[in-house]
Amino acid sequence: MPQVIFTSALERHLSCPPQEVGGSTVREVLDGAFATNPGVRTYVLDEQGALRKHMTVFVDGDAVRDRDGLSEGVKPDSQIYVMQALSGG
Amino acid sequence: MSHSPSNRLFVATRKGLFTLERAAAGWKIAQTAFLGDPLSIVHIDPAGRIYAALDLGHFGNKLQRSTDGGATWEERAAPAYPEKPADVDDRDANGKSIPWKLQKIWALADAGTDQATESLWCGTLPGGLFRSDDGGATWQLNRPLWDKPERKGWFGGGYDWPGIHSVCVDPRNAQRVLIAISCGGVWLTEDGGASWRAHADGMRAEYMPPERAYDPNIQDPHIMVASREHPDALWVQHHNGIFRSTDGAASWQEIKDIPRSGFGFAAAVHPRDPETAWFVPAIKDEKRIPVDGQLVVLRTRDGGASFEVLDRGLPQSDAYDLIYRHSLDIDASGDRLAFGSTTGSLWITEDQGDSWTSLSTHLPPIYCVRFAA
């Protein structure tokens, strides 16, 4: 099953260990991860289900481009990294 | 109502929430929370519950609540905008498409007047007002205001989107609520939010063409405050001046001949003497620093007819502190005021501003200062 790994920066706010979740698109896999760990959803997605402006998702090393739909396909052995953009101060 | 002086002060900053307490030796930082995280607002309700709005750069806006004086915190829900219908073309006065997404929590106020209330109003960017009746567990967007066609005439001031920063609930009748918007003027409901009317008559905008200067819907009140025991007495620090109402926002009068500068963000009014109010002036608009590098507070005791310039205990050379709109507060006694600056300085007075004491010069940038009851 695809594996979802969350940025360690999230650990400061809530627990989010790596998960193995079934699904064939980024949306399906993330929805599965949030079903198990619902508190994480609003930290990654906004209220309309789009990726937050300063968050990025990589599927096997490639950044997701459909940030609203999260429709990119994932393979059964994909690694999905939920990361934060480099900004702050 | 209690007139006791407050011995507890909450300071919300770019890098955490600081709680100061007054001991025999003076005011000291007693507690910290959310170190490293940006806050936008802190609010203390009548029962002493503390609400802290966090504006996490990557992870969005969050609402936290403490029911034990700040020892422990629990995440509540942040207001969420509904989905924008596909056939709705929602654009602001400048033609930009307005996101139906929470950008910032910019005001929290008790929606009920009894001691036990867990009802809250929440003002936000991009211009939505929300209500919760369960202490922030769930929120509802106030549709009568959001659906007003006039909302499309609002625009951002300082931010990309318009924002509701002031919510004044009438302590005599909680159905009567005044809100102020940058930039969307002042709006009144007398039926708990079922209907709203613009109430900025008399305000004047220098930043608009002359024919629009008195348009109530484009005014930029930076902050609106009401005297606690005389809620029809309101003061507004506006983008280009100070305005006052003595009739519950039915009309506004511009204050003339303000020393130093009429520009600023913060305002405070005495809880029992509505003629007495405080402001912190800055060089207008393009510079936003104290005049001549001297930080002063303005105090009027006669409804704005005259002002005293208060400077005892405040830096009088090379001071570049700017005081944001939520960063000045007055306690229930009317004697204690505190304010914090963009450069992390914090001052307090216990004699209505006659003299000020520096509590810190090296906090993170300060966004909100609130006394506990």
**Do residues B104 and B163 make contact, with C-beta atoms less than 8 angstroms apart?**
yes
Best residue in B59, B75, B100, B138 for a mutation probing chain A (most A CBs within 10 Å): B59
For the record, the structure tokens of B93 come out as: 């006065």
Q: To which residue do tokens 């995280």 refer? A: B37
Q: In chain B, which residues have their Cβ closer than 8 Å to the Cβ of A85?
A: 58
**Do residues B163 and B106 make contact, with C-beta atoms less than 8 angstroms apart?**
yes
For the record, the structure tokens of B241 come out as: 């001046």
Q: Do the Cβ atoms of B101 and A84 come within 8 Å?
A: no
Q: In chain A, which residues have their Cβ closer than 8 Å to the Cβ of B101?
A: 46-48, 50
Return the HEC string of chain B: CCCCCCCEEEEEECCEEEEEEEECCEEEEEEEECCCCCEEEEEECCCCCEEEEEEECCCEEEEEEECCCCCCCEEECCCCCCCCCCCCCCECCCCCECCCCCCEEEEEEECCCCCCCCCEEEEEECCCEEEECCCCCCCEECHHHHCCHHHHHCCCCCCCCCEEEEEEECCCCCCCEEEEEECCEEEEECCCCCCCEECCCCCCCCCCCHHHCCCHHHCCEEEEEEECCEEEEEEEEECCEEEEECCCCCCCEECCCCCCCCCEEEEEECCCCCCCEEEEECCCCCCCCCHHHCCCEEEECCCCCCCEEECCCCCCCCCCCCCCCECEEECCCCCCEEEECCCCCEEEECCCCCCCEEEECCCCCEEEEEECC
Q: How confident is the model at residue B110 (pLDDT cuts 50, 70, 90)?
A: very high
Q: Do the Cβ atoms of A13 and B102 come within 8 Å?
A: no
Q: Do the Cβ atoms of A54 and B101 come within 8 Å?
A: no
pLDDT score at B287? 84
Give the number of other Cβ atoms within 10 Å of residue B304's Cβ. 21
Please give the share of chain B, as a percent, with pLDDT higher than 90: 91
Kindly state the DSSP code that residue A61 receives in the 8-state scheme: T
On whether any CB of chain A is under 8 Å from the CB of B78, the answer is: yes
**What's the mean pLDDT in B129-156?**
97
Distance CA A65, CA A55 (A): 12
Q: To which residue do tokens 């509701």 refer? A: B164
Instruction: State how beta strands A3-6 and A79-84 pair.
Output: parallel
Question: Which among B291, B197, B185, B277 is positioned nearest to B238, based on CA atoms?
Answer: B185
pLDDT score at B333? 97
Reported as half-sphere exposure (CB side, CA atoms, 13 A), residue A43 has a value of 23
For the record, the structure tokens of A20 come out as: 């193995």
For the record, the structure tokens of B263 come out as: 């520009």
On the question of pLDDT at B285 being above 90, the answer is no
On the question of pLDDT at A31 being above 80, the answer is yes
Q: What is the pLDDT of residues A51-62, one digit of tens each?
A: 999 999 999 999
pTM above 0.80, yes or no: yes
On whether any CB of chain A is under 8 Å from the CB of B85, the answer is: no
First vs last C-alpha separation in chain A: 37
Q: What is the pLDDT of residues B166-222, one digit of tens each?
A: 999 999 999 999 999 999 999 999 999 999 999 999 999 999 999 999 999 999 999
Sign of CA dihedral A51, A56, A60, A64: positive
Distance CA A26, CA B204 (A): 51
Q: What is the pLDDT of residues B350-369, one digit of tens each?
A: 999 999 999 999 999 999 99
For the record, the structure tokens of A34 come out as: 């949030």
Q: In chain B, which residues have their Cβ closer than 8 Å to the Cβ of A41?
A: none
Q: Do the Cβ atoms of B56 and A13 come within 8 Å?
A: yes
What Cα–Cα distance (Å) separates residue B185 from each residue in A6, B109, B282, B363? 43, 18, 22, 32
Residue A72 C-alpha from the chain's centroid:
12
Q: What is the pLDDT of residues B9-31, one digit of tens each?
A: 999 999 999 999 999 999 999 99
